[in-house]
Chains A and B, each alone.
Chain A
Amino acid sequence: MISVIQKKNRKFKEINYYQNHDVSNYFLLPFRFQKINSKTEILVNEVGDFLLVPVGTAEQIILKKLDKIKDEDLYLDLISNFFISEEVIPPLLNILEARYRTKKSFLDHFTALHIFVISLRCEHTCHYCQVSRVTENKDEFDMSLYHIDEGIKIMMHSPNPHITMEFQGGEALLAFNNIKYAVLKAKEEALLYEKHMTFVICTNLAPLTDDMLPFIKEHNIMISSSLDGPAFIHNQNRHRPQRNSYEVTIEGLNKCRAILGEDNISALLTTTNLSLDYPTEIVEEYVKQGFSNIFLRPISPYGFATYNEKKNKYQTEKFLTFYKSAFEKIIDYNKKGYYIREDYATVILKKILTSFPVGYVDLQSPAGMINNVIVFNYDGKIYASDEARMLAEMNDFTFQLGILGQSTYNEIFYGKKAMEIAENWTNESLAGCSECAFQSYCGADPVLNHATQGNMYGYRPTNVFCQKNMEIIRYLFDLMEDKSIEKIFRSWITGHSE
């Protein structure tokens, strides 16, 4: 949507139009507002359409001080974008309903992403990882064929015709034989249940061998890897006895690109305390390796954050400084003609600039857990999200929904536990979120609230999720006032630079 500040003209109108001064008796439609900077505030309606206006405009609108003739540009923008109406029920309410339904259409098909923690074994000993085990004991830490079968049964019950089966670890490739079994079995079942399958393996690429690649290629399996930055960061973050994690990752990346194609391999950044001091170097490394995207993910609070308000606030502020420095570098590359997008911002920008929802589970309301993702752990336990199983590794089983082979589909997805979580998973009904201007761009995260604040509902003023998202969304709008940056943002959504 165009900001009214920059609009230059409107259509020609007859003189009679200007003689009618009696319309300031309009009706408000649901919208929220928030200051973006000292000069500009944002108005956001119920379906996420926005207007950037001078500070004080919201007050003028709400107190019905707007003059249809004097403030014609603004007035017509507000009418046409469902911020106000000249009738109690706007004549085009059906359009607004359809828009609202579209924004929430990620709910239509229910759970798509099914994560199978195929093994907890790993040959890395990363200091931030609470879940992996360095062991040869396959029986204890690999998912059994029985649990794989039961997981596939549950997966095929999903009403969603498009299913993603994602293999995680530990290090998933250490159980490659089980992955092969699971892929073949799932494909067989998918034919029967008419499901369209997508497969993903999350791996650090260290155990990748040449004989694995033909199977991965044959079954169109996507590889999701990790790159934490240049060698001195990556190797420090990801401990291996040989201290060569970076080298094997790059070798694996190149091998995958050559055999599977550029589009079938991606890399994720795990941000650690060390990374926070090197935003520029990390972006440069991604460019050096030829990536056209980078995901600046915040430090995971699981395992160390607990309920320390001060520490959480400090970590969030430090991350935001890191994020903005890295982001400036990314914008700089784009301005120089190298296309590289930041994935977290892209998710938010898609919500801001398009009418459609985004399938990113951490920024949804109702939350992505259960609705879009479910996790089957190596031991057969079922969790509401990946973070929920991390909590379980710290002996907190709050978000365990059932056990494979024992719980029915209804018990897992519509049981008591799911209902309890559901009471806290819509930001429309959470204190602090209900009147927040950024509500439709944000989400709800009961697991994070529970992990960092001790309850699923959460307390927004000291909430890390809220602090991070409020500032990133405000920052994006602030940058968007620069038209050259808005153009770059739009290119991230469309996937091409022009």
Chain B
Amino acid sequence: MKNIVTLINNELHFSLNEQLYDEDVVFKCFYWYGTDYNVEIDKKDNVFFVKISSKSETKIDHDHLLIKIKQDLIDFKLRDIVTKETKNIRELLTAKAFAHFETDENPVTEISDPIGFDPTNF
């Protein structure tokens, strides 16, 4: 987090490097700030410029907000790691869970024995 500017008129501006926080992390993290804040995100040359302003008249506690943002960015980056690393296994799990459950049935035709041993003996 760089170029932190705290403005008296209830605003906080800062920039984030895309190499540290990719777009998914930034947008998922600041999505939740919509409860109390208006959030504006711009991107230029791999840097996100974030502007946060309060929705209400209540004065922003800049120090408290910065600590919260830093922690939330770490949490959402961790969530993003899990989401991306487990994408395939999650898809596999859901697909297999909802695939029609069928037990393997013995073939109804006679089993061929081209190499000379009888597989039904096993």
Contacts and interface: CB of A to CB of B under 8 A. Distances in A.
Interface residues of A, number: 30
Interface stretch (B2-10, B45-53, B87-95, B109-117): B87-95
Contacts of B92: 89, 93
B96 A461 contact: no
A461 B33 contact: yes
Determine the interface band of chain B, counting residues with CB < 8 A from chain A.
20 to 34
A33 B74 CA distance: 13
Nearest to A102: B97
A58 B79 CA distance: 9
A30 interface: yes
B32 A62 contact: no
Given A30-B86, A431-B31, A435-B28, A97 B79 contact: no
B69 interface: no
Given A97-B97, A461-B34, A28 B85 contact: yes
Given A97-B96, A100-B97, A431-B31, A89 B78 contact: no
A442 to B, nearest CB: 16
Contacts of B32: 432, 460-461
Contact of A435 (B33, B34, B83, B97): B83
Contacts, number: 68
Contact of A462 (B35, B93, B101): B35
Given A97-B96, A461-B32, A32 B89 contact: no
Nearest to A432: B31
A27 B88 CA distance: 12
Contacts of A462: 34-35
A97 B74 contact: no
A31 interface: yes
B78 A62 contact: yes
B93 A100 contact: yes
Contacts of A31: 82, 86
Contacts of A434: 83
A478 to B, nearest CB: 19
B98 A29 contact: no
A49 interface: no
26 contacts: A27-B85, A28-B81, A28-B82, A29-B86, A29-B89, A33-B75, A33-B79, A58-B78, A59-B78, A62-B82, A63-B78, A89-B89, A93-B89, A93-B92, A96-B93, A97-B96, A98-B97, A101-B97, A101-B98, A101-B101, A432-B31, A434-B83, A459-B34, A460-B32, A461-B33, A461-B35
